[in-house]
Structure 1
Amino acid sequence: MKTILFCLAGFALAMAVSCPSTRAADAPAASAPEPAPKPAPSWVKIIDQGDLDPRLKGYKTPEGVKVEIVAENPVVVNPTGMAFGDDGTPYVLARGAIKSLSDGKGKGVYDASEVVLESEKATGLLLHDRWLYVAEGNTVRRYKQSKGEGAYDVKEVVAKGFGGIGRHQGSGMTIGLDGWLYLTAEDGDNVVEGSDGSRATVLRSGAVFRCRPDGSKMQTFAIGFVVTYGNAAFDAAGNMFLADNGVKGAGEFTDSRLMQAPEGADYGWRLKARALCCQADPVRAGGPGALPPMLKFDGSATGVFIYNDTRFPENYRGLLFRPDAPKGALHGYKVERLGATFEVTAEFDFLKSDDPSFRPWQAVAGPDGAIYVVDERTKAGGAGKPWGDGAHGRIYRLSWAGTKDQPALPPRGMDSAAKIAKLDDDDLIKALIANEAGDAPRLDLIRRGEKERPALLKLLKDGEQPDAARIAALSALESMWNGDAQALAIHLLTKESSADLRRLSADALGLNAVKGDEEVHGALLRALTDSAPEVRRSAAMAMSRVAAPGAADVLVNTWAFDDGRDTVLRDGLVRAIENLGRPGVSRLVALGESGVQKETDKVVEAFTMLRTRPGADAIPRMLENPHLSAVERIALLRSYNNYLLDPPVSLAPALEYLTSHKDAAVLKGAIQALGADADGARFLGHAFLDKKLPTEALPDVTDVLRQQAKNDPECAKLLTAVMKEKAESK
């Protein structure tokens, strides 16, 4: 039975990464040409690692990079995930088990492994604050050693209810700079419940959810993803990036995508109703409000990784990396700020091989500052044996050996984090400022707690200190938030020269301030005129979280005067209005009733982007606006398709409007829009037979039923009934 279950999980995993029948990585649609790559950076000169180690012949990297095999079978067999403990011990996910690795000979090569946890459904692991987090099918659990060593015998459910099938469920887990846990879930019906009963629901779409590390305060962060297998990643300034996998023949979703995902973002994917995976909803996918990706690519992704350490030269710091198992490559990308988002300006192969067994699944930074690459190592084309061949596996360590222009940067000791933990408080702050010990100083300051707050406030306030150290200080302060931290964040929001610190201050206020705080609201109001669009977007989202009196007026007025040139900023303003719930939507409706045509048009545009119940509830009132054109009325009626909610939104108000308003153009357009899929066509067919639509609707109802009848038996029956009624009426 164990083997059968393992194979079923593997089959689903194939679909998530490289199945020829579904994934663009192996068989892109003929009508979708391969996206043109960005140019490689001028400093990249490719060499063959076989010159240094014959076992690595054909493994190519930029000059200066040293590749070492630090573990292979039988110590690791078909590994797909990796993380490091505080003491530098590597933990590897491989074939349904999590193992710790050890270096018995002290040569930097792991020669023994020990199973610490078995889980046939495991798709990801994370180590944080001495907890071992494991994504297991539709559930994320965390485990702890009750005695500080030995068995992981303490178990807690962090989150459950991820949709999809097999490994098209929750898989990625990342701790953000804000201290929250970010969970990636794949396309399906995600009805996610946190440990405290809090819920976040996203239907027929991949999503990123956010909660506290214990699973409390569950909320939706971003949606519209296809198959987001693996982790999202944060850069040193707290910006989230992730990738999803394309679907063969799915139009704009054929190619895989690389995205920078701010809070509230929607990247457009919707799964077809009743499909298990890999079929785009022809009505809803790519609809109004869908943001464009930074980059489309022909290939796959099992998560992304950003190098935020200092043991590679400056030009490697902040690079984003994407493992592509079917193509045997770890791709590197340089991203730069573009308005409220980012763009890819250069790309190259950081590690690539023509070895058919090379299947890189994950890249992570070690406590030594090196980059570790997990190689499932299975000889197969396409999907192959996605659970592995049971015989091979490798882990590589990549470090900077130097060139004539850029000297070597030897890795730190694997116990560097443990050494940091032994520093006294003053030296720990100095280590944070020096930025030579990775993330260990920040994490240890958080563990030490509130006694570190005065030193962190002093560091954050000091504009002469490096931005990286001040960002780390703000991050640590979020775990020990109080009035002093809030006061300093308010000051930074409007007085700080660094746009990153202003944006992060807005984010921190939005997550930590008390609802209704008028002082925080005032600071965010001033930030809505910031010169940096990313700061304005964060300020708007934070204002909607604080939700003080007047927030709806401010956000709707800001939307009204926005010029729309920055798509991501424009999106953020709409999402902030939507976050306010009924007050925000009601104020938006009122703006549309001002009698100013420009404002009415803009409100209709916003309504076509909404996706929460207060928006649907307000459509009938919007339709009564006398200043709407027929095109705008049809757009509003079509927007009922946006609302994938549980329980579903009723279309009865749309019927009432169509029955009571004799406008042939609107009637025709609305029926075509609402009947564009089988569910809508069925609804209209029943409505017509129940005399809830005027007789003038007959030709268009017949038309939408006929379009769906080929693939939907109920539509075929309704078409017959409608045609019979038509004949009898004659």
Structure 2
Amino acid sequence: LATSPLKRPATLTPGRHLAPTESLASISTPADLHVELVLSEPEIAQPLALRFDNRGRLWVVEYRQYPFPAGLKMLSRDKYYRATYDRLPSAPPNHDRGHDRISIHTDTDGNGTFDQHQTFVDQLNVASSLEIAADGVWVLNPPYLLFYPDRNHDDRPDSDPEIHLSGFGLEDVHSVANSLCWGPDGWLYGAQGSTTSSHVSVTGSDAPPVYRDGAMVWRYHPQQHRYEVFAEGGGNSFGLEINARGHLFTGHNGGSTRGFHYLPGAYMQKGTDNKYGPLSNPFAYDPLPAMHTDTEIPRFSHDLIQYQSTALPDRYQNKIFAVDPLHQHVVVSDIKRRGSTFETSDIDVALRSTDLAFRPVEIVVGPDGWIYVADFCEEFIAHGQHYQGQVDPSTGRVFRIRAADSATTSAELTPLHIVRQLDQATPEQLRDWLSLADRSIRRRALRRLASLQVDHSFVAESLAMLRRSEMPAALELLWLLHQWDPETSTHLQESLRHAEPDVRRWAVRLLGERNHLGADVVAALVELAASDPDIDVRAQLACTARRLDARNCLAIVTALLKHDD
């Protein structure tokens, strides 16, 4: 099945593309939305991942080295574009210098235009994603997960990067590990595509590498130095979304669905074994499907978000926005419950382009509540064509979708203004913001507050607030208390009786991650499995049961079998 090795052509032959302003003019939107061009070449090229910091600055991973890793010799390649190289690349600073970089873009006067541009780190080689921390930047640079410390916040790494994980595969550079995303539980989540494998080791650990072949979602705890597979299977996963209730979604490179909803520990459909490899569990007889839809969906929804901010018109609240690079548009879908998972129905197109090179590959909600879309800007989008040199490493754009009746503003009541106050806010202010309607602000306030040292009385007050709070504050407070004290189970056991089903569900999930559960906790879980009316809570009980020893697992599962849904 092997084909001849492919080398980078001496001359690239990219396709056609419009100039940035012409591409903007080619875009149409519904009457209640407006699109703006906020970044383009020469300031950026090949944007693959976008993140915002608490100053409202946009960070961009520029995948300029794609599709040929620097310094490696391809020995063979199969018909699915899985390559074998002559060696594993070294981690920075001892790596082969590539052209990937991470850049920072600032709106200095608050008028909505990014007018200041700088580079955080360059000469990277197959850098696919980043996530911003309080004292540095996480960079996914397969085969490594790196942390660049920047404790003095001067936008320059303090030192060489720390290597936290190694072993992510490079067989297929349009399928590498990607999409770093902070979870509300303090874990760093990521995805892996369908045609790469991984043998992941934690630096400093004697544990054997964790092997998986093909699509999955994984996670890493920076403080506990723990790596685990969250769930496996799915499509050629690029993109992660964790919604306000903590449900996790990815996009898909196939048709007939808008994406996958992952439960912890789930085994999802992943295609044919001869291409993607089997699931790791030979007894996973009926893998879970992608989200159902009543809409005819062509290939494909590469990445998606669930809009849960406040800047767009009300009709977009809680809707799915999914990028479709093959058809040059961004789709809007309704999403609703279907048993213990979800189903979608397409309702609109938020952005449609007639530029053949418009290829949206990343979508995020900014701190202003507006939607940002990264455009890879390639007429030819098939990975095989890129291997043949039909790729342009010098182009790329970022577009912003906002409400048609809004204007860029620095008024004090905007979400962006609140975000810019986060690093100076008091613990009391941060806790108050956990009740705001805007998920982006809540999630940022949670991360900031979880990183602070607070006194015992503040923790006690937060626990008292959890007991009497409704959504969304109740769930945010549960996540907060867990991050402050990931070993104590008292507040979690108490939360098994909370009025909000999502709090009960997450209490079950977090209890299952403890190293040891007492007999009283297990008894409470068994009782909940028998009596809880919420199917989401019971689905999580099934997920938690498989993390426990056989006796306790069977006790929970037996109680769940009493239900008929």
User: Partner letter of residue 225 of structure 1?
Assistant: G
Determine if the alignment matches structure 1 residue 239 to structure 2 residue 247: yes
In the other structure, the counterpart of 1:190 is 198
Secondary structure of residue in 1 paired with 2:233: strand
Hey, what's the Cα distance between the residues in 1 that align with 2:7 and 2:184? 35
Is 1:5–1:120's contact at 8 Å kept on the other side of the alignment?
Answer: no
Deviations 1:235-286 (A, max 9, x none): 100011112323xxxxxxx76661111012111326645xxxx46779x999
Q: Describe how 1:371-520 pairs up with structure 2 within 5 A.
A: 371-380=371-380, 382-383=382-383, 385=386, 388-402=391-405, 412=414, 414=416, 416-436=418-438, 437-451=441-455, 452-463=458-469, 466-481=470-485, 486-494=489-497, 496-511=498-513, 513-520=514-521
Q: Take 1:6 and 1:352, find their aligned partners in 2: how far apart are those partners?
A: 35
What's 1:176 paired with?
A: 183
Conserved 8 A contact 1:268-1:286? no
Structure 1 residues 3-32: Cα deviation after superposition (integer angstroms, max 9, x where no partner): x99959xx9xx9xxxxxxxxxxxxxxxxxx
How far, CA to CA, are the matches of 2:6 and 2:257 in structure 1?
29
Structure 2: distance between partners of 1:442 and 1:488:
18
Tell me, which stretches of 5 or more residues in structure 1 are unaligned?
15-52, 247-253, 404-408, 567-730
8 Å CA contact 1:159–1:215 kept in 2: the answer is: no
How far has the Cα of 1:435 moved from its partner? 3.6
1:133-152 matches, within 5 Å, as: 133-152=138-157
Displacement of 1:316 after TM fit? 2.0
Q: Equivalences for 1:604-683 in 2 at 5 Å?
A: none
Matched position secondary structure for 1:179: coil
1:221 equivalenced with 2:218 (yes/no): no
Deviations 1:460-509 (CA, angstroms, capped at 9, x unpaired): 1114xx401111111111111278x7333223313x23221211121122
Change beyond 3 A, Cα 1:163–1:385:
closer
Q: Which residue of 2 aligns with 1:17?
A: none
Tell me the residue number matched to 1:590: none
Which of 280, 288, 291 aligns to 2:288? It is 291
1:56/1:97 CA distance change after superposition, 3 Å: same
**1:598-627: per-residue Cα shift (whole Å, max 9, x none)?**
xxxxxxxxxxxxxxxxxxxxxxxxxxxxxx
Cα distance, 1:492–1:449 mapped onto 2, change above 3 Å: same
Determine if the alignment matches structure 1 residue 116 to structure 2 residue 116. Answer: no
Higher relative contact order (CA 8 A, sep 6+): 2
Q: What secondary structure is seen at the aligned counterpart in 1 of 2:489?
A: helix
Q: Distance in 2 between matches of 1:360 and 1:285?
A: 37
Paired residue for 2:164? 158
Letter in 2 for 1:290: P
Q: Percent identical across equivalent pairs?
A: 21
Q: Number of residue pairs matched?
A: 496
What TM-score results when the alignment is normalised by the length of structure 1?
0.62
1:679-702 per-residue CA deviation (whole Å, 9 max, x = no partner) reads xxxxxxxxxxxxxxxxxxxxxxxx
Q: For each residue in 1:568-602, what CA deviation from the matched residue of structure 2 results, as whole angstroms up to 9, or x when unmatched? A: xxxxxxxxxxxxxxxxxxxxxxxxxxxxxxxxxxx
2:131 and 2:544 mapped to 1: Cα distance? 28
> Does the Cα contact within 8 Å between 1:367 and 1:413 map onto a contact in 2?
yes
> Within 2, Cα distance between the matches of 1:434 and 1:104?
27
Q: Which residue of 2 aligns with 1:128?
A: 133
Q: Distance in 2 between matches of 1:423 and 1:292?
A: 43
Pair 1:179–1:84, CA change in 2 (3 A): same
- Relative to structure 1, the CA distance from residue 195 to residue 93 in structure 2 (aligned partners, 3 Å threshold; closer, same or farther) is same
Are residues 209 and 308 of structure 1, via their aligned partners in 2, closer, same or farther at CA, if it must alter by over 3 Å? same
Q: Which residue of 2 is the match for residue 577 of structure 1?
A: none
Correspondence for 2:333 = 333
When residues 203 and 419 of structure 1 are mapped into structure 2, their CA distance, relative to the original with a 3 A threshold, is closer
The structure that is strand-richer by fraction is 2
| Contact in 2 for aligned 1:372/1:397 (Cα 8 Å) | yes
Q: Aligned ranges for residues 204-353 of structure 1 at < 5 Å?
A: 204-213=213-222, 216-228=225-237, 230-246=238-254, 258-269=259-270, 272=273, 278=275, 288-295=285-292, 297-353=297-353
Inter-partner Cα distance in structure 2 for 1:341 and 1:556:
19
Looking at structure 2, the residues matched to 531 and 442 of structure 1 have their Cα atoms a distance apart, in angstroms, of 29
> What residue is the counterpart of 2:101 in the other structure?
97
> In 1, Cα distance between the equivalents of 2:23 and 2:314?
29
Given that 2:202 and 2:227 are in contact with CA atoms closer than 8 Å, whether structure 1 keeps it comes out as yes
> How far is 1:364 from its partner?
1.0
Partner SS state of residue 526, structure 2: helix
What is the alpha-carbon distance in structure 2 between the residues aligned to residue 430 and residue 508 of structure 1? 24
Please say which structure displays the higher CA radius of gyration. 1
Does the C-alpha gap of structure 1 residues 257 and 311 become closer, same or farther in structure 2, counting only changes over 3 Å?
closer
Structure 2 SS opposite 1:545: coil
The CA deviation at 1:556 is 4.9
Given that residues 269 and 286 in structure 1 are in contact (C-alpha distance below 8 angstroms), is that contact kept between their aligned partners in structure 2?
no
SS of corresponding position for 1:361: strand
Q: In the alignment, residue 87 of structure 1 is paired with which amino acid?
A: R
Report the AA paired with residue 422 of structure 1. Answer: Q
The question of 1:59 aligning with 2:27 is answered yes
1:107 to 85, 106, 111: 111
Q: 1:433 to 1:499 in 2, by over 3 A?
A: same
Is the CA contact (8 Å cut-off) linking 1:200 and 1:220 kept in structure 2?
Answer: no
One-letter identity of the residue aligned with 1:361:
V
Is 2:442–2:476's contact at 8 Å kept on the other side of the alignment?
A: no
Change (3 A) 1:445 1:502: same
Letter in 1 for 2:154: E
Question: Cα gap change, 1:504/1:62 in structure 2, threshold over 3 Å: closer, same or farther?
Answer: farther
Q: Taking structure 1 as reference, are residues 478 and 62 closer, same or farther at Cα in structure 2, changes over 3 Å only?
A: farther
Match of 1:612 in 2: none
- Structure 2 length normalisation: TM-score? 0.79
Structure 1 pair 202–365 and aligned structure 2 pair: CA distance change class (3 A): same
Paired with 2:197 and 2:444, the residues of 1 have a C-alpha distance of 37
Provide the C-alpha distance between the structure 2 equivalents of 1:270 and 1:68, rounded to a whole number of angstroms: 38
Contact kept? 2:257, 2:290, Cα under 8 Å: no
Q: Structure 2: how far apart are the matches of 1:91 and 1:306? A: 21
* 1:161 match: secondary structure: strand
Larger mean CA deviation between 116-125 and 233-242 belongs to 116-125
| Secondary structure, counterpart of 1:456 in structure 2 | helix
CA contact (8 A) 1:450 1:480 kept: no
The structure-2 alpha-carbon separation of the partners of 1:298 and 1:227, relative to structure 1 and needing over 3 Å to count, comes to: same
Gaps of 5+ in 2: 15-20, 65-99
1:546-561 equivalent positions in 2, closer than 5 A: 547=549, 550-558=551-559, 561=562
- CA distance in structure 2 between the aligned counterparts of 1:173 and 1:441, rounded to whole angstroms: 19
Report 1:528-547 matches (<5 A).
528-529=529-530, 530-545=532-547, 547=549
1:176-220 deviation line (CA, Å, top 9, x unaligned): 121112121123432222235355634433111122035722112
Which is richer in helix? 1
Deviation (angstroms), 1:124: 1.6
Tell me the alpha carbon deviations over residues 424-448 of structure 1, each in whole angstroms, 9 at most, x when there is no partner: 3333322222345453322221122
Query: Secondary structure of the equivalent of 1:160?
Result: strand
Query: Within 5 A, what are the aligned runs for 1:8-23?
Result: none
Shift of 1:67: 1.4
Cα distance change, pair 382–209 in 1 and its aligned pair in 2 (3 A): closer
Shift of 1:145: 1.7
